Chain A
């Protein structure tokens, strides 16, 4: 187990593995995205209260879930990098930020677009919405902080501390609808023993969540490869690889 972990943390091994993984994650992700979109837009019946507007759930919920998952991944990777000084962990954390920021943006926009016909407003300073907006600012802050340092080691450490400190916002986002009176609807999926959604509507949602997760992992693998290459440019394996006749593009 530890051997496998240490082997995985080795940059050349990870670089090679990530090249293959990005392909094997992105292809099923795109297929599942197509199936989930078809299921959500065409096959799922309209909601008895919200009509067809509820179909925004198939892009809003996976985006919001991913925004939190990516932040937790970034914070855990940052902590691993800080504690065990594993460079690869910092590369993972740095690669998470732009992906996480983009999906947080998608969650906010799709939420606003869903809010207008249902609540009568695009935005309300509701605990869930506000906490999600803070998450977007945390991603921006993380990227800005990284960019402010010339020294990579300092950038890694400072941004890891910010990521770890900011992770407290994730349970606030998740539980805000339970802790405070909120305009946002309560949990639907986390009550797995009795989900508040019909099976006809549920399967496309689960498909989309799986597709988004695979997509994130595939994109992360691509981004970490570039990050690893940049950090390892002084090492023999990276120089050999750069000098070789390997194609410039990613394995896609």
Chain B
């Protein structure tokens, strides 16, 4: 059987080349997903702080906000 199972002494080179490419492909996928999640979450939190309304369900501030509806940025904080 030709191919990867019969590589003539080049296994190490092939593993490095395909490994680096796989890392780049997976890395791009993970980085793009993380970037979207991070931006989405950060903007939601900014929006909540600015509007001073009740936090959007699911955001990280939903349980950390001490200010209620009608509050402003000075009254809104996180329980840390």
Contact = CB atoms under 8 A, between A and B. Distances in A.
Q: Do A and B bind each other?
A: yes
Contacts of B29: 26, 219
Interface in A17-56: 26, 33, 37, 41-46, 51-53, 55-56
Q: Is the interface of B mostly helix, strand, loop or mixed?
A: helix
Interface residues of B, number: 39
B20 A242 contact: no
B33 to A, nearest CB: 6
Size bracket, chain A contacts: 35 or more
Q: Which of B13, B29, B43 is the most central at the interface, judged by chain A CB atoms within 10 Å of its CB?
A: B13
Given A46-B2, A105-B24, A52 B7 contact: yes
B68 interface: no
B62 interface: no
A196 interface: no
A230 B14 contact: no
A222 B39 contact: no
Nearest to B57: A245
A252 B38 CA distance: 16
B8 A46 contact: yes
Interface of B: 1-10, 13-14, 16-18, 20-21, 24-25, 27-29, 31-33, 35-41, 43-44, 46-47, 56-58
Interface of A: 26, 33, 37, 41-46, 51-53, 55-56, 59-60, 63, 98-99, 102-103, 105-106, 109-110, 113-114, 116-117, 215, 219, 222-223, 225-226, 229-230, 233, 238-239, 242-243, 245, 248-250, 252
10 contacts: A44-B3, A102-B24, A113-B16, A117-B10, A215-B28, A219-B28, A223-B32, A225-B36, A249-B36, A249-B37
